[in-house]
Structure 1
Amino acid sequence: MDLIAGCVGGASGVLVGHPFDTVKVRLQVQNVDKPRYRGTFHCFQSIVRKESAFGLYKGIGPPMMGLSFINAIVFGVQSKGMRLLGRDTPTNQFVTGAVAGALQCVVCCPMELAKTRLQMQSKSSKRLYRNSLDCLSHIYRHEGVRGVNRGMVTTLIRETPSFGVYFLTYDVLKRSLGCAPGDVGVIPKLLLAGGMSGIASWLVTYPADVIKSRLQADGVGGVNRYGGIADCVRQSVSKEGYMVFTRGLTSTLLRAFPVNAATLATYTLFLRYAQGVGAAGAHPPV
């Protein structure tokens, strides 16, 4: 049941937030010497004007394809972990969330690699990949397994604390807001708790996401700029200063609230509907 609820919640989140994610990636990896976009809204307008509204949904295939696996791991591991630990405490919410976040990287990293590469393609540039599977196949042929897992370390650095903070914040806010089963006003409260949980998790790990995006976009067009994580950090800070770690943050936070509000609220309500209010009330992560 956690798998099904996670998939339904995740799908709603992807549909709501993917346009913001496309803007975020374009801003994170654009050339600082010849920037194409002045900011979040200029990037959004430029994509729609030059590539139509569908341009905002480039790379949506990988998140949708990996959705079942990622949500099966995240919600399944977190829920099972809470049952094994036996106590529904904030610390346990963080620990089980962090473990779930680390384990799902095996699917998340290749998926986000393909997403990033597809998002970097525009109508004015040469199309290297037809779709997400073609993208991963192309990378595997030229770079092997290591290429398909490009950015794995930074993904782990991002996802492990991110999901810990995610589940911890959601649990604390639900308790504070009084999201009791049967509460007629529970939906707005769940949306608020989910949205704020997403914002909190991104604020904690955003610098790692910037480096991950740059490493995964590196090599497009045959040119490699970075020799690894440390070199990417050094070059980025040297050219753009420490504010580079906030590049695309506005788009990310604008995306984080509605995406996670939709994801966690849908997940919670789906479980309550499927299991009944009484059973869902005893369910650890809900």
Structure 2
Amino acid sequence: MALDFAAGCLGGVAGVLVGHPFDTVKVRLQVQNSDQPRYRGTVHCFRSIIKQESVFGLYKGIGSPMMGLTFINAIVFGVQGNTMRYLESDTPLNQFLAGAAAGGIQCVICCPMELAKTRMQLQGMGEYQVKSKVYKNSVDCLFRIYRKHGIRGINKGMVTTVLREIPAFGFYFLTYDCLTRALNCEPGASFIIPKLLFAGGMSGIASWISTYPIDVIKSRLQADGVGGINQYNSIWDCVLQSYKKEGWHVFARGLTSTLLRAFPVNAATFATVTLFLMYSRAEEECKELETASAIQQHSSL
């Protein structure tokens, strides 16, 4: 149980370091003004941020996911591992259910974390009237939102977060389980690290594709109100306004940068988690064998 949580922490750190620049680009593209778009696409967005804000601009808001994802991944992999032990049989359906359960529970941390991350990533964008540095850091951001709007304010976007995370994590663990079985990723197998990286990366892609339109709506709702301007009255109002103004393609905005991010992030996350668990469990088994051997030798004396 403790190993699942520790592995999740390490995997979370690895994933954030690899993927945060892609996430910044994704959010900027998702919420930019369609009448006067600031960025022409993923590559242009990357170049513009680096040119105008330096490479550190790509890491705006990293404090929130770095703190949050450590706990989130600990929760996700801990809950998923323990749910699988409770369900007993290792079937594809149980992998999906265990992943879905983990996804639902971690929303308590994920929603406020992503709200702070989104607000931090939008600092400096003229159309959101946050040209100046409004928030010092992610903690200051959440504190200011809480002081002004209370618990409801820091949980803005919770419903869409839950709608996204439950199926997304179900597909996440289901895909990883199916691919690792098909690729024979058992301990001691040849080329295990490339196989784990590939399985993890594809799991992340499958997870995002399954719920991406919901993520667009979540980002827009969490960005709503920045600069004192509120555009949406509800989730459905956000869906309708977005569709009427920009058509169906709006629900795929930022998908390219998201998938570019999803592969390396989840490759790093899952490979780190799996290798840590393999190594730790192998050590535990060796210690158990040594203990059993010592007991047997002592009893034979």
TM range (shorter): over 0.9
Instruction: Return structure 1 stretches of 4+ with deviation > 3 angstroms.
Output: 277-280
Which residue of 1 is the match for residue 139 of structure 2? Answer: 133
What is the one-letter code of the residue matched to 1:166?
Y
Q: Give the gaps of 5 or more residues in structure 2.
A: 287-301
Which residue of 1 is the match for residue 214 of structure 2? Answer: 208
Superposition map of 1:128-207 within 5 A: 128-207=134-213
Q: Secondary structure at the match of 1:11?
A: helix
- The range that moved more, 175-184 or 190-199, is 175-184
Which residue of 2 is the match for residue 229 of structure 1? Answer: 235
Which residue of 2 is the match for residue 265 of structure 1? Answer: 271
| RMSD, aligned CA | 1.4
What is the one-letter code of the residue matched to 2:66?
M
Which residue of 2 is the match for residue 113 of structure 1? Answer: 115
Percent of aligned pairs sharing the same letter? 69
Which residue of 2 is the match for residue 240 of structure 1? Answer: 246
Kindly state the Cα deviation for residue 214 of structure 1 after the two structures are TM-superposed.
0.3
Q: Secondary structure at the match of 2:267?
A: helix
Kindly state the Cα deviation for residue 278 of structure 1 after the two structures are TM-superposed.
8.8
| CA contact 1:101–1:164 (8 Å) conserved in 2 | yes
| CA contact 1:218–1:225 (8 Å) conserved in 2 | yes
Kindly state the Cα deviation for residue 10 of structure 1 after the two structures are TM-superposed.
1.1
Question: Number of matched residues?
Answer: 280
> Does the C-alpha gap of structure 1 residues 104 and 234 become closer, same or farther in structure 2, counting only changes over 3 Å?
same
CA distance in 2, matches of 1:178, 1:277: 22
Which residue of 2 is the match for residue 40 of structure 1? Answer: 42
Residues 6-54 of structure 1 show CA distances to partners (whole Å, capped at 9, x for unaligned) of: 1111111110000000000000000001110000000000000000000
CA distance in 1, matches of 2:68, 2:145: 18
Kindly state the Cα deviation for residue 275 of structure 1 after the two structures are TM-superposed.
1.5
Q: Please report the TM-score for the alignment, with normalisation by the length of structure 1.
A: 0.96
2:16 corresponds to which of 14, 17, 24: 14
| CA contact 2:95–2:173 (8 Å) conserved in 1 | yes
CA distance in 2, matches of 1:30, 1:207: 16
Q: Secondary structure at the match of 1:226?
A: coil
What is the one-letter code of the residue matched to 2:63?
G
What is the one-letter code of the residue matched to 1:180?
E
Superposition map of 1:89-104 within 5 A: 89-104=91-106
CA distance in 1, matches of 2:151, 2:158: 11
| CA contact 1:21–1:252 (8 Å) conserved in 2 | yes
Q: Please report the TM-score for the alignment, with normalisation by the length of structure 2.
A: 0.91
Residues 190-244 of structure 1 show CA distances to partners (whole Å, capped at 9, x for unaligned) of: 0000000000000000000000000001111111111110010010000000110
CA distance in 2, matches of 1:67, 1:141: 24
Q: Give the gaps of 5 or more residues in structure 1.
A: 281-286
What is the one-letter code of the residue matched to 1:273?
Y
| CA contact 2:12–2:73 (8 Å) conserved in 1 | yes
Which residue of 2 is the match for residue 284 of structure 1? Answer: none
What is the one-letter code of the residue matched to 2:37?
P
